Amino acid sequence: MTQSTSAETTKISTYLMLIVLMVLALSIVALILAVSTFAENQPLATSLLIIGFIAMAIAAYTLFQSRRRAVSMKIVAPQVMTTIECRKCGFKSVREFQRGDFVFKDLEKCQKCDDKMMITAIYKEIKEKEKTYNV
Amino acid sequence: MMIREVENSLYKLRHIKEEGRKIAIETIKEIGKPQTDPSARVDRYLEYFTIGPQAMDPAGIVYKLDHILDVRDSRLKDEVKLMAPASDEVQTNNLENTLEAAMALNFIYKVVRHYYIQGKKTLSLYVILQLQMILPLVMKEAEAYASALKAFAFGQPIGDGAGPLVAAKLMHGYETRKVPKDCVVATVPIENRTALIIKAEGPGGNVGKPGDAVKAVIDENEGKIASVIMIDAGLKLEGEIVGEVADGIGAAIGGPGVDQYKIEEALLEYHIPINAIIVKEDIGDAVSPMRKEISDSADKVIERVKNVILERTKEGDKVIIVGVGNTIGIGQ
């Protein structure tokens, strides 16, 4: 597969966008017509008003859904943290993971006691709570 | 409606697969500093296949499979070295793991696409229906591999590394030596017993061959081992808590079964009891960056190991403790 296919999947389809815009334009036309014919033909104006609103709602919903799909397709890299500890004085710090980090890697000297520090843990934290089922 | 749902998932799978390919190529370019564009070689790598041994006469099939897996491993490693000449051993292992995750994503996409097209071609609702039924599980697995890809590219520990993490914590500070294949062993005194701790050699992405390592250590000690304790990540059932620790008996090791067979064979020869401790997690957690709950469970596992040693062995005995899993991002 080529790089272009990757780009295709990330954006919203042009055809879909065109259809949505056309429906949106027609719904606006229907609403304008409804306003202009309200005094002369009330039943027709009401019908146009309903059609206009429904078409606008469908267009907005389709656009929203397409955008949601495009967003959900992104691969999000979780935030991974590295815990660094000093074995001598127990000083502990947590920072973001850097390439080359590994558990039990010796690092620079401790800020407090000048002894070497070491990576003791690398992990990702999941903030949102998992849905529980009371069964 | 159903076809639309499958189509949407297929689009997503294609996107994930393409992203995986892109990440793999970028990582190779960044780490391996190749002279030429590695894209064509990566595409070829993603299409590699392995043919399993013939099972009509199953006698000796384990060693045939073992041989095929060895050949596959060395072939893929050579390919990675050609793609990324500037990478060291650790980086080569990480790149190999990255490419294997991209390979898995490519395979998932192609299989789902196959059934989707087949269903449409034959106008068979049942083919599409079957595909739609398993899609949530397929998507979950694909997303897990996508997450794994980034972890491998960066060299971050993954959930499957729970076993090696425990072994590394036990052996840290003690002298280690290499044992076949791609494993290390350290002799550590625990609770007045001698523990021979085995794990895959880190911190590169590597699972080693614990089967060979355990057999070698048992043979070195002429079978005088009081117990073997295996620590691994175990698949949890829905409703169970991630990082929960459970213990039982048996060879706790996944994969194609070759290592499990070798361990069981060696244990049977000398009648050595085997204990297992697992850290529960789901498939997504196993291949994505290690969750805090799993990292924190390492100390609980060590406690369990000590309990098993105290309850099941006598003072002065020798025990083997094996940390099974991918040791990416975990040293020793």
Q: Is the pLDDT of residue B172 over 50?
A: yes
Nearest residue, CB atoms, B8 vs list A69, A75, A80 = A69
What is the structure's pLDDT at B296?
Answer: 94
Q: Suggest the residue from A96, A123, A131, A132 to mutate for an interface test with chain B (most B CBs closer than 10 A).
A: A123
**Nearest residue of B to residue A131, measured between CA atoms:** B239
Indicate yes or no: CB of A75 within 8 angstroms of CB of B155.
no
How are strands ordered across the β-sheet holding A80-86? A92-96, A80-86, A116-124, A106-109
CB atoms within 10 A of CB B113: 15
Q: DSSP labels for B97-124?
A: HHHHHHHHHHHHHHHHHHHHHHHHHTT-
| pTM (two decimals) | 0.83
The 3-state DSSP class for residue B56 equals coil
Question: A3 falls in which pLDDT band (50, 70, 90)?
Answer: very low
Say which range, A33-47, B109-123, B163-177, B265-279, has the weakest mean pLDDT. A33-47
Are B218 and B266 within 8 A, CB to CB? yes
CA of B36, closest CA in chain A: separation in Å? 17
Gap between the Cα atoms of A43 and A36, Å rounded: 13
pLDDT recorded at residue A12? 60
Q: Which residues contact A7 (CB under 8 A, 6 or more apart)?
A: none
Task: Give the ipTM.
Answer: 0.87
Q: Measured at the alpha carbon of residue B136, what is the angle toward residues A81 and B148, in degrees to the nearest 5?
A: 30
Q: What is the pLDDT of residue B218?
A: 95
DSSP string, A12-69: PPHHHHHHHHHHHHHHHHHHHHHHHTTTT-HHHHHHHHHHHHHHHHHHHHHHHHHHHH
The reported pLDDT for the residue numbered A2 is: 35
User: Who has greater pLDDT, A114 or B178?
Assistant: B178
Q: How much is the mean pLDDT over chain B?
A: 92
Q: Is the pLDDT of residue A21 over 50?
A: yes
Q: Are strands B227-235 and A106-109 parallel, antiparallel or unpaired?
A: unpaired
For residue A6, the model assigns a pLDDT of: 42
Average pLDDT, rounded, for chain A:
81
Residue percentage of chain A with pLDDT more than 90: 27
Residues from chain A that touch B291, judged by Cβ atoms under 8 A, are 123-126
Q: Are residues B14 and A5, on separate chains, in Cβ contact within 8 Å? A: yes
- For residue range B45-82, what is the model confidence (pLDDT) as tens digits? 999 999 999 999 999 999 999 999 999 999 999 999 99
The string of pLDDT tens digits covering residues A82-91 is 999 988 888 8
B150 against A4, higher pLDDT: B150
Q: Are A102 and B291 in contact (CB < 8 Å)? A: no
The pairing of strands B227-235 and B318-323 is parallel
Q: A102 vs B157: CB contact, 8 Å cut-off? A: yes
Mean pLDDT of B286-290: 91
Pick from A6, A105, A135: CB nearest B22: A6
What is the tens place of the pLDDT at every residue in B133-171? Answer: 999 999 988 988 888 888 888 899 999 999 999 999 999
Nearest Cβ partner of A103 from B165, B289, B294? B165
Q: Is the model's pLDDT at B277 over the cut of 70?
A: yes
Tell if the CB–CB gap between A75 and B156 is shorter than 8 Å. Answer: no
Q: Specify the pLDDT at position A70.
A: 60
What's the whole-number mean pLDDT along residues B190-196? 94
Contact A104 B172 (CB under 8 A): yes
Give the closest-approach CA distance of A41 to chain B in angstroms.
Answer: 40
- At B89 the pLDDT is 87
Interface test with B, best of A4, A72, A82, A102 (most B CBs within 10 A): A102
Q: Is the pLDDT of residue A7 over 60?
A: no
**Chain A nearest-CA residue for B147:** A77
So what's the pLDDT on residue A128?
67
Residues forming a β-bridge with B227: B319
Helix, strand and coil percent figures for chain B, each rounded to 5: 55, 15, 30
Average pLDDT over every residue of A43-55? 90
User: Which of A67-71, B41-45, B228-232: highest mean pLDDT?
Assistant: B228-232
